[in-house]
Structure 1
Amino acid sequence: MLDDEIGVREVTMTEHFAEMFTDDDFDILLLIGGYGSGKSFTGFLKTAIKATMEKRKILVVRKVYSTIKESCYEDLKDGLEIAGVLDEWKFIKSPLEANHLTNGSKIIFRGLDDWRKIKSIKNIDYIIVEEADEMTLEDLKELRKRLRVKGIKKHIVFMCNPVSRASSIYRMFFTKDEGFGFNEEELYKNRKLKKIETIQLEDGTKETITIKVHHSIYKDNLFLPPTFIYELESEKDPRLKRIACEGKFGADGDLVLHNAVFEENVFERYIQNKIFKENYYRGVDWGYSKSYATGLKMAVNESLNELYIYWEFYNRRMTTRELAKGMEPLKEDNVKIFGDSASAQANADFRDEGFRIFPCGTKDRTYGEQMLRSFSRIVIDKGRCPKTKKEVEECIYKKDKYGEIIPGEYNIDPHSIDTMKYGLSDRKYVPLKERRKDRGKFVGA
């Protein structure tokens, strides 16, 4: 409940969201969650109350300006009406603005499709960003630079669904190389995370920045209709269920390896004493100074048409000697190793280190993709191959302007998928329509 002492109407909500309205102890806040969780409602209602209580110059942003009127603009008006203060505001439709009649607060609505209009706005002290995952990482950084006012606590609020781990929001909040390094699984467990970072300027000045992440799902919203809840809870697509219902990051699009599943102890369950060594495969993707070198151990059950991935190496910025030491297990069983043919020197260096390695050849770029998609299942050991699991869960096709997928072009640089292609380059792939009908003979011991 919101206290009437601040001059707004009481609003009933779950405890998970209620404390958000009195919590201004943040510089950067991410409200992230599943469909219908109430994050946008909370963000705009908080903004409406904030601007009514004290003088603020607020910038409301989406990536494309044409989407704002039917979304952010109306959501902010709804927030003011729910708080019972709508009559204290004057609204202007061109350009979209709202001005408080007495305290001088101003709310400005802009899209990032024209950065010139953003840069011309001075003295912003509060920014709220809807569908923040639509932004590039550069957009998000640029928005933070707009908060230049001194002498007042400045805030920026990001709101979105947890779509791809390749998204700008994931990179800013959940990676260490590019962002704040929050732990994704810890967020799902604790639902609220806080981090305080200290920055130091060249002149020695130090300042702290408080970053918070708030996670929510549909069960945190008291006002959803039963039909909406039913649609969420009965969703069969595991990708969509993960994002929409559970509020967790996942691939939102056409998965490249739609046939992948993730299990424990893959070698013991499917390979050991079951598949001949002739059906073992090894692959290496070398990567470069900023990319990842990847090695995989694989096996194929030709009878069941299943691919098993049960060991991985995944690292970067290592010397040849360090890579050779990390990939030493690839030598086991004297299985041929196929490496990226584009790096002849790396293959030669590894042969000098005792690896039985060969260039993968130069097949059509979609050939390996078609082979991987032709398996009835790709079973990946989720405990031993976490990086491969993550890439396979995230890798989706790019699409052309007509919405059609583009074979061989993806949203991420999938090192592990490339490694699968290289490692299987010596396998004879027969398209489904050409396969023999008598595939029932079991392959293995």
Structure 2
Amino acid sequence: MKLKIKKHFYKVLMDNDFDILLMIGGYASGKSFTGFLKTALLATQEKRKMLVVRKVYSTLKDSCFEDLKEAFDTLGVSNRWKLIKSPYEAENKRNSSKIIFRGMDEYRKLKSIKNIDYILIEEADELSIEDIKELRKRLRVLGIKKHLVLMCNPVSRLSSIYRMFFTEEGFNFDEEELYKKRTLTKIDSITLEDGTKENFIVKVHHSTYRDNPFLPASFIYELESEKDPRIKRIARDGKFGADGDLVLYNAVFEEDVYERYVKDKLTKRDEYRGIDWGHSISYTCGLKMAVNKVLNELYVYWEYYDKGKTTQELMQGLQPMKDNNISIYADSASSQTIADFYDEGFNIDGATKGKGSVEYHEQLLRSFSRIVIDINRCPNTKKEAEECVYKKDKNGEIQAGKYNLDAHSFDAMSYGLEEYDFIPLKNRLRKKKYIGI
């Protein structure tokens, strides 16, 4: 058996020294093919009882079941396996390995399956953390190395997979480190009741279409020529982004934004400052910005972003916003805080918030040809711009002003642009009609 597979995937294919493996990547990267190839290879070599899972059972036929058949063909072992379609299963004629397919929507049937030693989850981001925890409880067989393999695209940072692997709530891998190193490993030592120690190994593997040498040129062209930044990030680069219609579709991320676009190029009149208060309940966000009116571009080059701080602590953190005595506009709901800051020498005032202000500010931010956010100095603003999408009504229509998260940086931008001369689209159309254009 001679496999034609790139080194990046060959390593993960042959490596079974793990308890949990996440294979995450962009479209057509080869992660699913490798995941099923790995499953088929191990079940052919050893006697195993495996479970293949998706959120909905009906989706298994045209995805997972076909992928497993392709893996058997690739390995040249199809003749060793008996395929059953009701319910979907595969049985090895030589070593009695069994691969069972189930959906989380048939949880009662799933709970009745005993002695599982290997679980493969396709489209793992469709499952909740609670779903994944329940599946991990099915791995109870003694005397054999048990494996949980998860595969998915890196859709949203609000997803169960991101929370499980890339936050303090879970294994806390570093997302940016993964993109650089491509594979990461964490080992935890567990002390059992009898005093013995066992290692618990978690691995994460990243891939993109560039790791798949078998893609047609037409598919590569479509990915390379994609203009939508959300699709480029998730599909082409295999990086976490927003799953939905981005509010700030015009946001881009660069280094040294102040030096490249503001310093010695724009005047004090082009600079803006904004604060959204959070205090002990939520995050306070303060931003330094500038606008190039000729290019119609907004530059966000400095941020303060923290929570649980007293007014005095906020004053210390926001000291840099005093420079050049540029006007600062903040959320007017905290009038006492504004007064306290003013008494401490901040050139600060409350922003106007009237009926329809959320939609107005949304139009304002979306009216810029580009919002250039400093990738290093404004990490939280960058994250919110990448993640914030519109909520939709029951008919699937976008709801203006309603988002999937509380984007404090959006509010800080909007308050800070209080004096920016912006005419909403409907008012522009009225003005054109009035003057006969």
TM-score, shorter chain, exceeding 0.5: yes
Q: Is the 8 A contact 1:339 1:359 kept in 2?
A: yes
Change in 2 beyond 3 A, CA 1:104/1:292: farther
Which residue pairs with 1:409 in the alignment? 402
Change in 2 beyond 3 A, CA 1:323/1:122: farther
Which residue pairs with 1:334 in the alignment? 325
| Aligned counterparts of 2:208 and 2:22: Cα–Cα separation in 1 | 14
| Aligned counterparts of 2:221 and 2:197: Cα–Cα separation in 1 | 51
Which residue pairs with 1:246 in the alignment? 237
Choose from 69, 84, 88 the match for 2:80. Answer: 88
Which residue pairs with 1:4 in the alignment? none
Which residue pairs with 1:33 in the alignment? 25
Which residue pairs with 2:89 in the alignment? 97
Q: Is the 8 A contact 2:164 2:170 kept in 1?
A: yes
- Once structures 1 and 2 are overlaid, which stretch shifts more, 199-208 or 124-133? 199-208
The one-letter code sitting in structure 2 at the alignment partner of 1:415 is H
| Aligned counterparts of 2:391 and 2:26: Cα–Cα separation in 1 | 24
Choose from 43, 47, 57 the match for 2:49. Answer: 57
| Aligned counterparts of 1:269 and 1:49: Cα–Cα separation in 2 | 53
Which residue pairs with 2:416 in the alignment? 423
Within the alignment, does 1:388 sit opposite 2:381 as a pair? yes
The one-letter code sitting in structure 2 at the alignment partner of 1:396 is V
Pairing of 1:241-280 with structure 2 (within 5 A): 241-272=232-263, 275-280=266-271
Q: Percent identity?
A: 66
Pairing of 1:64-143 with structure 2 (within 5 A): 64-143=56-135
How far is 1:361 from its partner?
4.2
The one-letter code sitting in structure 1 at the alignment partner of 2:164 is M
| Matched residue SS, 2:158 | coil
Which stretches in structure 2 are left out of the alignment for 5+ residues?
433-437
* Cα-to-partner distance string for 1:3-49 (whole Å, 9 max, x where unaligned): xxxxxx43221222223333110011111222222111110111112
Within the alignment, does 1:236 sit opposite 2:265 as a pair? no
Which residue pairs with 2:364 in the alignment? 371
**Number of corresponding residues:** 428
The one-letter code sitting in structure 1 at the alignment partner of 2:180 is K
How far is 1:270 from its partner?
3.8
Q: Is the 8 A contact 1:240 1:252 kept in 2?
A: no
The one-letter code sitting in structure 1 at the alignment partner of 2:120 is I
How far is 1:296 from its partner?
0.6
Which residue pairs with 1:11 in the alignment? 3
- Once structures 1 and 2 are overlaid, which stretch shifts more, 212-221 or 423-432? 423-432
How far is 1:303 from its partner?
4.8
| Aligned counterparts of 1:118 and 1:360: Cα–Cα separation in 2 | 55
| Matched residue SS, 1:236 | coil
Choose from 145, 149, 161 the match for 2:141. Answer: 149
Change in 2 beyond 3 A, CA 1:202/1:260: farther
Choose from 282, 298, 304 the match for 2:273. Answer: 282
Change in 2 beyond 3 A, CA 1:143/1:351: farther
Change in 2 beyond 3 A, CA 1:14/1:279: closer
The one-letter code sitting in structure 1 at the alignment partner of 2:328 is I
| Aligned counterparts of 1:283 and 1:206: Cα–Cα separation in 2 | 53
Q: Is the 8 A contact 1:166 1:411 kept in 2?
A: no
| Aligned counterparts of 2:296 and 2:227: Cα–Cα separation in 1 | 25
| Aligned counterparts of 2:404 and 2:385: Cα–Cα separation in 1 | 11
TM-score (norm 2): 0.87
| Aligned counterparts of 1:54 and 1:150: Cα–Cα separation in 2 | 15
The one-letter code sitting in structure 2 at the alignment partner of 1:262 is F
| Aligned counterparts of 2:326 and 2:93: Cα–Cα separation in 1 | 77
| Aligned counterparts of 1:107 and 1:288: Cα–Cα separation in 2 | 53
| Aligned counterparts of 1:150 and 1:356: Cα–Cα separation in 2 | 68
Q: Is the 8 A contact 1:63 1:134 kept in 2?
A: yes
* Cα-to-partner distance string for 1:49-107 (whole Å, 9 max, x where unaligned): 21222222211111222211110111112212322222333333232222333433222
| Matched residue SS, 1:156 | strand
- Once structures 1 and 2 are overlaid, which stretch shifts more, 181-190 or 352-361? 352-361
Change in 2 beyond 3 A, CA 1:265/1:10: closer
Q: Is the 8 A contact 1:126 1:156 kept in 2?
A: yes
TM-score (norm 1): 0.85
Change in 2 beyond 3 A, CA 1:271/1:225: closer
Q: Is the 8 A contact 2:83 2:91 kept in 1?
A: yes
Change in 2 beyond 3 A, CA 1:134/1:10: same
Choose from 381, 384, 390 the match for 1:397. Answer: 390
| Aligned counterparts of 1:205 and 1:244: Cα–Cα separation in 2 | 44
Q: Is the 8 A contact 2:229 2:249 kept in 1?
A: no
How far is 1:286 from its partner?
2.8
| Aligned counterparts of 1:263 and 1:410: Cα–Cα separation in 2 | 25
RMSD across aligned positions (CA): 2.9
Which stretches in structure 1 are left out of the alignment for 5+ residues?
1-8, 438-445
Which residue pairs with 1:171 in the alignment? 163
Which residue pairs with 2:200 in the alignment? 209
